[in-house]
Structure 1
Amino acid sequence: MRQDEVGAEAVVRVYDPETGMRGVLVIDSTINGPAGGGTRMVADLTEDEVGELARAMTYKWMIFDLPSGGAKAGIFGDPAMPAEHKRAVLRAFGRSLRPYLSNKDFLLGVGPDMGIAGADVDEIYAGAGAPNPVAWESSPRWIIDGDQAGYHLTGRGVAAAARAALDSIDRPIAGATFALEGFGQVGAGAARYLDRDGARVVAVTTIAGGLHDPQGIDIPRLLELRRQHGDGCLRVYGRGEAIAPDQLWSLPVDVIVPGARPRAIDAYNAGGVRARIVCPAGNLSVTDDAEDHLQRRGVVCVPDFVVNGGAIIATWIDILGGTPAQALAAIARMVAEVTSSILAEARASGRTPGATARARVRDRIFATRRHPISYADAQARAKQVLHFH
């Protein structure tokens, strides 16, 4: 795992003999405030992946100037394990991390991520004997249009980033064509808000396969089918043509949205990308060499840690006592502003948007005072950044 002038500050490995739980918590940085990030549970998870995701969280908090540092938790296991065993594993994980999960001056919180839903996070905190500090993950107060907030927050930011990126090439979002990798919480949320903005989603892939309809997919119908059939929604949709997931990258669309595991677009397949814009909803979706290749071809690649920043903005809105409506408004404003700013600076400098954003983050990191910021100080700072009253 990489450790450099930024972090990682702490790597905590945990194991529970009774359940067989193996997990890790990586605290990348607390330089800007208590660290926070999601919890990933997949069978082929590696410690290096968790470390890279923790660094991505540091970049994400800092690019929006929010008073937190990066962290990521990981549980090595299949999230589809029997429900009772998964509950025992989650509680064991929380129990093992009790000293960290109960100290908000050090760790803001661990939230949902791949393989972990909001209710699973509640189980982790129950194991630690501490309340879940972030209500939007599972609270009835954060139900939006019949779905938990996770189906809205990051997706709202994806749509805002896509609109700003399209503006940068003088293309209106109304009528623009999109291809989405993934139709879970983030992909479904992105599709919902893109559809509301007048975009045309023409392709979606999941672990169960892919669907392509050049005339446009009926997103409200697909969302309803997803509630009933999960990832199998594409099989019962009934229109369009089936495609293999890797065919998504070569579709002739305005925007592709990678949204699953890291390195979806790399040096090997970047040459086949036919979109004008890559707007990654997933973490670490595009490798640096792929972004260089895309830039040489005139393809705009928005940094992933800008595109998918919706949930961290909502986290601070929630902690400060705000509402879902306030969170959605802040996400739309902040993601669009940062996207436009990064793309304009990248054009002026000739660097890629990713390199531009990472340089901005590092400048902020090294300008920050090197002593811990308390949870109370972080709350005051968050109110200023979010214009929260």
Structure 2
Amino acid sequence: MKNNSIPNFKENVDAFVLKASKALKFSDDLIDHIRSTHSVLQVNVGIKIKNKIKNFTGWRAVHSEHRLPSKGGIRFSAEVNQDETEALAALMTYKCAVVDIPFGGSKGSLKIDPKQYSEEELKLITHIYAEKLIKKGFLSPAINVPAPDVGTGEREMVWIMDTYKNLFPNDINYLACVTGKPVAYGGIRGRAQATGRGVEESIREYLRHEQFYKRTKLNPDLSKNKIVIQGFGKVGKSLVEELFHRDHAKIIAIGEYNGYLYNEKGIDIDELVKHFQKNKNLKNFTGAKFIEKPAEVLTIACDILVPAALESVINMSNVEKIKAKLIVEAANGPITHDADEVLQKKGIDVLPDIYVNSGGVVVSYFEWVKNITHVRFGRLQRRYEENKMNELIQVIEDATGRSIPDKYKANIIHGVQEIDLVNSGLEDVMRETFKEIMKNMEIFKKKVSLRTATYAIALNKLKQYHKDMGVSNAH
């Protein structure tokens, strides 16, 4: 009889790390050192609301400072706890190492349901929480840089930045103390869509390689595959828009907390977005059937399944019902470690979260670099490039005696802008990282999963760091 108890998030991350360390034949002391959390700060945020003192517990976990600053989002949720925060911090260490972003791993959380408080109340709560982190050395452009996560967004990042600036008005790099800001406050174009676009790039890259799409019997043309998405939040929404507009993808189902939409012929995403913006709900959308059984969206027969919402949604209670050929982990930890073993035996490939959803931290890195250098990407070269291309077109037209059509001319002349460089950089990271994963699979003679090969990249880089920098010896 199967054990249907669901491991917690920390247990899953630890299990995946240990599996990769065994494949690499790491010593127990080394892997214990790599896995250990560097430090955790617990704070109490007390505030008087309606003549009653409310107390909120918050954490900032630093898993690794092998590279600085440490990086990771801040989550506002009634469900958070210290164990989960530490596990998410560890995931950030591995994620940054996998995609070659020079950050350590960190994560913050505040135990609060943000929907229960007004904007003014949340602003004050966020200021107090941020001030406590800053004063204890857990938030600064050089040491620890937060970003949005569940329950937070651009607004909260501006509040945190303002808190830091007021405490350290002489720090010229204050904009870099957080990422995920609005463009007007030092943010970068493309950051809001970065995680979703990164997920799309990971699918594209998988389908570029015959050895993978053949073994899972997928069509290399993305538009010819049936796709199911669980989650229509920040990541899920940006993902379906990228898939629909750039790849003409056939998305047959989209799930949310209260049910899912289903249309065998594919959902019109533009119409769905209009409906969702107006109603804040998938229900009553006329372009698909709404079924009030949210868990069932995961078991729909499809080619590509993308869990983009919650942790541990694929577990021992439903893994045998999964009918996808490829699972793409847009959410953090959507598959438990025991269910992952079952999927591997069934021949279902899993593109792991530490690769797939790294687009957010990749573009956060670009934003941090922009803030540290104090210059917008593309500002120095855009007009130069446009002028040179104009000259080249004039030479070609003079030499041939023929005019280049305006529709082609405008595209050729277009000088690179910030969004172009961000998207190009993100694509490069996702493509190069997948090639590294493939190389690892060859080293292991294809006896490991994509997940284990990906974790092995991170662990090898961390091992090399500890070898180069050393670990303190007792005297």
Matched residue, 1:43: 78
Matched residue, 1:165: 206
Amino acid at match of 2:39: A
Within 5 A, what are the aligned runs for 1:11-50?
A: 11-18=40-47, 19-50=54-85
Amino acid at match of 2:265: Q
- Equivalent-residue separation in structure 2 for 1:246 and 1:285 (angstroms): 13
Matched residue, 1:87: 123
The answer as to whether partners of 2:157 and 2:180 remain within 8 angstroms in 1 is: no
The answer as to whether partners of 2:123 and 2:156 remain within 8 angstroms in 1 is: yes
Tell me whether 1:217 sits opposite 2:217 in the alignment: no
- Equivalent-residue separation in structure 2 for 1:120 and 1:225 (angstroms): 27
Go from structure 1 to structure 2 and tell me whether the alpha carbon gap of 1:346 and 1:79 turns closer, same or farther (over 3 Å shift). farther
Go from structure 1 to structure 2 and tell me whether the alpha carbon gap of 1:20 and 1:126 turns closer, same or farther (over 3 Å shift). farther
CA RMSD of aligned residues (A): 2.2
Matched residue, 1:292: 341
The answer as to whether partners of 1:154 and 1:311 remain within 8 angstroms in 2 is: yes
Go from structure 1 to structure 2 and tell me whether the alpha carbon gap of 1:17 and 1:143 turns closer, same or farther (over 3 Å shift). closer
Tell me whether 1:370 sits opposite 2:469 in the alignment: yes
Amino acid at match of 1:289: D
Amino acid at match of 2:155: A
Q: Report deviation, 1:175.
A: 2.0
- Equivalent-residue separation in structure 2 for 1:16 and 1:159 (angstroms): 38
Tell me whether 1:5 sits opposite 2:37 in the alignment: no
The answer as to whether partners of 1:122 and 1:132 remain within 8 angstroms in 2 is: no
Q: Secondary structure at the match of 2:223?
A: coil
Matched residue, 1:71: 106
The answer as to whether partners of 2:76 and 2:109 remain within 8 angstroms in 1 is: yes
Tell me whether 1:186 sits opposite 2:281 in the alignment: no
Tell me whether 1:58 sits opposite 2:93 in the alignment: yes
The answer as to whether partners of 2:225 and 2:249 remain within 8 angstroms in 1 is: yes
Go from structure 1 to structure 2 and tell me whether the alpha carbon gap of 1:47 and 1:40 turns closer, same or farther (over 3 Å shift). same
Amino acid at match of 1:184: G
The answer as to whether partners of 2:94 and 2:105 remain within 8 angstroms in 1 is: yes
Q: 1:200 aligns with which of 242, 245, 250?
A: 250
Matched residue, 1:106: 143
Amino acid at match of 1:11: V
Q: Report deviation, 1:111.
A: 0.6
Go from structure 1 to structure 2 and tell me whether the alpha carbon gap of 1:102 and 1:143 turns closer, same or farther (over 3 Å shift). closer
- Equivalent-residue separation in structure 2 for 1:142 and 1:177 (angstroms): 35
Corresponding residue pairs, total: 365
- Equivalent-residue separation in structure 2 for 1:115 and 1:297 (angstroms): 36
The answer as to whether partners of 2:230 and 2:298 remain within 8 angstroms in 1 is: no
Q: Secondary structure at the match of 2:114?
A: coil
The answer as to whether partners of 1:21 and 1:93 remain within 8 angstroms in 2 is: no
The answer as to whether partners of 2:147 and 2:180 remain within 8 angstroms in 1 is: no
Tell me whether 1:260 sits opposite 2:309 in the alignment: yes
Partner deviation per Cα, 1:123-167 (whole Å, 9 max, x = no partner) = 2333343644255432247686xxx741x1111111111122334
- Equivalent-residue separation in structure 1 for 2:130 and 2:79 (angstroms): 21
Tell me whether 1:118 sits opposite 2:162 in the alignment: no
- Equivalent-residue separation in structure 1 for 2:419 and 2:57 (angstroms): 35
In structure 2, list runs of 5 or more residues that go unmatched: 1-9, 15-30, 48-53, 169-173, 371-376, 378-417
Matched residue, 1:376: none
The answer as to whether partners of 2:330 and 2:357 remain within 8 angstroms in 1 is: yes
Partner deviation per Cα, 1:195-238 (whole Å, 9 max, x = no partner) = 121211111112232111111111122222333333x1x11321
Matched residue, 1:326: 421
- Equivalent-residue separation in structure 2 for 1:90 and 1:270 (angstroms): 39
- Equivalent-residue separation in structure 1 for 2:109 and 2:350 (angstroms): 28
Q: Report deviation, 1:104.
A: 2.9
- Equivalent-residue separation in structure 2 for 1:302 and 1:309 (angstroms): 12
Q: Report deviation, 1:367.
A: 0.4
The answer as to whether partners of 1:200 and 1:216 remain within 8 angstroms in 2 is: yes
Amino acid at match of 1:5: H
Q: Report deviation, 1:343.
A: 4.7
- Equivalent-residue separation in structure 1 for 2:321 and 2:139 (angstroms): 47
- TM-score (norm: length of structure 2): 0.72
Q: Report deviation, 1:317.
A: 1.5
Tell me whether 1:239 sits opposite 2:287 in the alignment: yes
The answer as to whether partners of 1:32 and 1:69 remain within 8 angstroms in 2 is: yes
- Equivalent-residue separation in structure 2 for 1:266 and 1:316 (angstroms): 33
Partner deviation per Cα, 1:294-343 (whole Å, 9 max, x = no partner) = 11111010110100011111112222223232111211222133234425
**Percent of aligned pairs with the same residue?**
23
Within 5 A, what are the aligned runs for 1:337-348?
A: 337-343=432-438, 345-346=440-441, 348=445
Matched residue, 2:5: none
Partner deviation per Cα, 1:241-283 (whole Å, 9 max, x = no partner) = 2232211111111111111221121222211110000001111
- Equivalent-residue separation in structure 2 for 1:194 and 1:371 (angstroms): 45
Amino acid at match of 2:286: G
Amino acid at match of 2:140: N
In structure 1, list runs of 5 or more residues that go unmatched: 373-389
Larger of the two Rg values belongs to structure? 2
- TM-score (norm: length of structure 1): 0.87
